[in-house]
Copies of this chain bind each other. A is one copy, B any other.
């Protein structure tokens, strides 16, 4: 549906948002660990999110990644756009070069419903909202580890 890079990116952004307070900054190691993502790959993704101003970074000692107040209100779809682009929300479900109502594939009507629902899911949800859920303990950005 969306790439692994994008999934890691969303989880990371939510985590950073969930830990936002005073001037605290998080480094790659902490972030990757907390969201169950490979560290070096996460670094690349965070770099990309910083370029797109989804999050903010600061180099050097006491540096790291953090999210600013104005960035919290962004919809999650901004992250998808930064990493995967918007094509998943536009492309034909059966792989035709163009998706259009005037030259539709046989599944166009049904597929479009699902595709639009997916777009709405990412469009109508802000990073702040998701971070809040995590802080409440009602949802999680890491895997459940089952005990013996």
Interface residues of A (CB under 8 A from B): 1-2, 4, 7-8, 10-11, 14, 36, 76, 88, 91, 93-98, 100, 103-108, 110-111, 113-115, 117-118, 120-122, 124-125, 130-131, 133-134, 138-144
Q: A1-B91, A107-B121 are in contact. List 18 more A-B contacts (CB 8 A).
A: A7-B93, A7-B94, A10-B107, A11-B95, A36-B96, A96-B142, A96-B143, A105-B140, A106-B130, A106-B133, A106-B139, A108-B139, A110-B120, A113-B117, A114-B114, A114-B117, A114-B120, A114-B121
Each complex incorporates copies of this chain amounting to: 2
Chain B residues positioned under 8 Å from A14 (CB to CB)? 106
